[in-house]
Structure 1
Amino acid sequence: MPQLKQRLSRYEIIGYALILAGAIILVWGTIKFNLLHELYADPGDRAGGVFGEYGEFIGGIVGSLWALAGVFLFFATLTYQKREFQLQRHELHKTQKIFQQQHFSTLFISFVNKQNDIIDALIAYDINQSPHSGSNFFVFFQEKVLSSFVQKVRALPVAQRTNEELHSIFREYFTYHFSFYQSSLNPYLSNLSILLRLIQRYRTETQDEGEYYSFITKASFTQSELFLIYHVTKYKLLREFAFIDDTFNVSDELVEEYRDTYLVQQELASV
């Protein structure tokens, strides 16, 4: 019974109350006009105009109450229909969101697989013509930048080892090695940029700030990959990467020891 009351709208309660009031008045009027006595009495003994007065009474009061009850019940029906439409729209939105997520998941997996294929195809050769392929490519690139930086800095006179000069040297060597391997890195960086933009678009369209696609993508990066992505973004070597750190906070994933600021400070401290 309590559940039934909770389901009734105000319009229904008023409508049913009016119907009940009309029924009560109808019974009261029947008694008041002594209608049963008039029905069974002989025609000559009947009071004149009783049925007419009773009809006016029913039509004027009971009829009005029941007509008003019909209006309230009509509004109650509209309220229920509106509620049903809202529920249907909510369910439709949930269905669309699930479909959208399923579609994006398929697209996301295809780009991740493509990204892995691109990484597997990466290859670089050292001075001994030994190959460094796959994830080792990024390790090799990082070592090339760091070794070039350290050798250059330690060949400088101590007086020239300033913070600004060392930052300039690090940027110079990173840019140089990036330019040297850019033709190999372009497919990797382009596909990564598209993947992250797709995630950004999905996040905007679904208004899902807690989506896990960006977390999965960032978790798949090695520190050597982050070394490359972080400094490419910081030095603005690729225009399409300008949004990455602001949107995905990639720099938070890179350990301090591999950042240019830390490396410069280490060399300054070694003087």
Structure 2
Amino acid sequence: MGQPLDRHLLRIRQRTQSQLSHGLSPAKHRSLYHDLPDEPLTGSFTIGLLIFIIWAVWPFLLGFLFPWEDINPGTSGDMFGSLTALFSGLAFAGLISTLLMQSRELQLQRDELTQTREVFSVQRFETTLFGLLRLLNDHVASIEVDSTGWVRPGASKEDSRVGRLALEVMAERLPTQFERQTERDNVTGRPKVVGQTQRTLEQIVDSYEKIYRERFEIALGPYFRLLYNIFRLIEEAKLSELEPENRAAKNEYGRIVRAQLSSSEVKLLMFNGASTYGVKFKPWIIKYSLLKHLPSLDRQNCATVCSDFPPQAFGEH
């Protein structure tokens, strides 16, 4: 479990360093330039063309209004003083074009700055997230129980279970939805099963909370708190300025964390979410479909506890 996480961290760092060292990718640059309108250049060209047309038509307009024989040479020469007006108009059009192009460049810089901030924000988020995942995996590796599910560090080698094998033993010791009824055998004097009754959800939760307090809290308490803080980090993160992209990114990171959980962990998480210990965590169990990989056999054997969760918790939208 540690090696895939390390490889994923390496890919994340390489991707982030590439983005920061080379700036935005060419595709990002093209998208930024493509999204900005071409109005500044089009507007400047239109203004210049309009001024040129007025300047070119002006002498002919004067000739139409005033016959050429009525205009003396001095007056006709003054008509071409409009050349000065042409250059003044072109200068004015150039000034407007410059201002519009500067506005466009400022918009590009703002967009690039926004993209850079997002890169740094995602980098900080991923560093914290995978640091918490590493802590979670380290804590799981330190859990040690005996074959009955009691947390007993230093138990004999033959009787101890460590890491996710320990969580598997804990999951096997969870209360079932049926309670056996026994009576003492008159011949052997030993108890024998004579029937079973189905427990209610409240009875199962009460039984779980008792086992949790007596056996599991020392190991599962830090485990569930770490897992809760991982999803709180994801839920509070702002990974994009656009809300649809932000939600999609959160769901993707939620799937990454969900992939780290074994079947035993999913079963333990379900029982904890149904109890009073998991009241705050339960909405995120549902939202991120953390029970999706619960084995079908456990869904059958723990149908009463499963009924406390909507289909979304199992990835059934």
TM-score (structure 2 length as normaliser):
0.62
RMSD, aligned CA: 3.7
Residue in 1 that maps onto 2:4: none
Q: For residues 259 and 179 of structure 1, do their structure 2 counterparts lie closer, same or farther at Cα, with a shift above 3 Å needed?
A: farther
Q: For residues 262 and 239 of structure 1, do their structure 2 counterparts lie closer, same or farther at Cα, with a shift above 3 Å needed?
A: closer
Q: CA separation in 1, counterparts of 2:123 and 2:304?
A: 46
Q: Deviations over 1:134-157 (max 9, x none)?
A: 1112111111114xx367345598
Indicate which of 91, 108, 113 corresponds to 1:87: 108
Moved more, 61-70 or 186-195: 61-70
Q: Deviations over 1:180-206 (max 9, x none)?
A: 211221211111111111112225665
Indicate which of 209, 216, 236 corresponds to 2:247: 209
Is the strand fraction higher in 1 or 2?
Answer: 2
Alpha carbons 1:145, 1:174 under 8 Å: kept: yes
Indicate the structure whose relative CO is greater, using CA pairs within 8 Å and at least 6 residues apart. 1
Q: Deviations over 1:154-185 (max 9, x none)?
A: 55986x835xx343332222222222211221
Q: For residues 153 and 244 of structure 1, do their structure 2 counterparts lie closer, same or farther at Cα, with a shift above 3 Å needed?
A: farther
Q: Deviations over 1:30-88 (max 9, x none)?
A: x99xxxxxxxxxxxxxx997435643x345x5555654554444333333222222221
- Structure number with greater Rg is 1
Indicate which of 193, 209, 225 corresponds to 2:265: 225
- 1:132 is paired with a residue of what secondary structure? strand
Aligned identity (percent) is 17
Distance apart, 1:262 and its partner CA: 4.3
| 1:193 counterpart = 2:193 | no
Equivalent position amino acid for 2:98 in 1: T
Residue in 1 that maps onto 2:42: 10
- 2:261 is paired with a residue of what secondary structure? coil
Indicate which of 52, 62, 81 corresponds to 1:20: 52
Residue in 2 that maps onto 1:114: 135
Indicate which of 268, 285, 293 corresponds to 1:253: 293
Indicate which of 116, 120, 124 corresponds to 2:145: 124
| 1:177 counterpart = 2:211 | yes
Residue in 2 that maps onto 1:152: 179
Q: CA separation in 2, counterparts of 1:224 and 1:93?
A: 43
Q: CA separation in 2, counterparts of 1:203 and 1:77?
A: 37
Distance apart, 1:113 and its partner CA: 1.1
Show structure 1 runs of 5+ residues with no match: 1-5, 33-46, 266-271
Alpha carbons 1:141, 1:177 under 8 Å: kept: no
Distance apart, 1:119 and its partner CA: 0.5
Residue in 1 that maps onto 2:201: 167
Residue in 2 that maps onto 1:44: none
Equivalent position amino acid for 2:210 in 1: Y
- 1:237 is paired with a residue of what secondary structure? helix
Matched residues, number = 239
Show structure 2 runs of 5+ residues with no match: 1-37, 65-69, 150-154, 183-192, 306-317
Distance apart, 1:255 and its partner CA: 3.0
Distance apart, 1:222 and its partner CA: 0.3
Alpha carbons 2:270, 2:291 under 8 Å: kept: yes
